[in-house]
Amino acid sequence: MLVKDIAYACLDLAKASTSDDSYLTIDHCIFLCKKYRAFLIKKEQEKNRGSQEVASEYEMQQICIDLEKVPAIDGSACTGGYYLRSTKPIPKILEGYQPKVYPIDYYQGTNISFVSRDRMRYTGSNKYLQNIIYSSLGPDLHLYLNSSNPQFLYLKKLRISAVFDDFESVAGLLCDDEGESTPCDVLDAEFPIRDHLVPPLIELVVKALNGSKFQSVDTKNDSKDNLPEQVRA
């Protein structure tokens, strides 16, 4: 489902329940859609905790990143050497969802394991695990790679599949396997959420849109509560 299908459905329902729709904007609607998408996905994760699948392919997005060779930071590796690092920071990943890291060619057979930042400090020194490439997000939000096999330094690109907190933040990094360009307008992009979460998403957004009309503000700086009685109630 496209962003515009959900956003305009929310706006139409909100406008139908109010006589004053001047405060309703598509930008605010998209902002709320992002906010409640993350909320609903987390709720779904809590409900399915313990099951094998807590993330749906409908919520996951795949980005392609370029890699560069960088020296190991002092104190982070016993023997120095080099890491591979993504040339750009990785957009924020929704809390609780571990990304999957692949080579550009799925059938290359390269084993890339995503590990925590603490565990990453101890990788790259075990000769019996030299065929494994380890990846982790650094403090600067770049992806770092390390391995006992120096051949990993020849990697130039990677795929990352993850549930990103803000689906719009990955627009410039999406993989382009089909030869189609990324939509110029966010409204024409796919909204990454599973189908059965769309109705509750629309309901939450419409409630928020309608509720914003009735939020009065005390603008007098006189240390008194000047809100109307019906607002304080």
Domain boundaries, the chain: 3-56+184-216, 61-162
- Give the strand order in the sheet containing 111-114: 100-103, 157-162, 61-71, 82-86, 143-147, 132-137, 111-114
Specify the residue for token string 């749906």. Answer: 56
Residue 15 pLDDT class (50, 70, 90 cuts): confident
CB atoms inside a 10 Å sphere around CB 133: 23
155 has pLDDT over 60: yes
Task: Dump pLDDT digits (tens) for 169-184.
Answer: 998 888 876 444 567 7
CA 26, CA 8: separation in Å to the nearest integer? 8
> Lowest-confidence range among 78-92, 94-108, 119-133, 178-192?
178-192
Distance CA 233, CA 231 (A): 5
Q: Average model confidence (pLDDT) for the chain?
A: 81
Hey, what are 61's tokens?
A: 């997005």
Query: How do residues 54-93 score in pLDDT, each as one tens digit?
Result: 566 788 999 999 999 998 765 444 455 889 999 999 999 9
CA 62, 91, 37, 49 dihedral sign is positive
More confident site: 200 or 80: 200
Predicted confidence at residue 19, as pLDDT, reads 65
Structure tokens at 58: 């409908």
Buried b (16+ CB within 10 A) or exposed e, 64-96: ebebeeeebeeeebeeeebbbbbeeebbebbee
- Phi and psi angles of residue 49, each rounded to the nearest 5 degrees, phi first: -60, 130
Please state, in angstroms and rounded to a whole number, the distance separating the CA atoms of residues 135 and 145: 4
Alpha-carbon span 21 to 210, nearest angstrom = 9
Look at residue 140 in the predicted model and tell me its pLDDT.
Answer: 92
Residues 158, 112: contact at Cβ < 8 Å? yes
Half-sphere exposure of 3 (CA within 13 A, CB side): 21
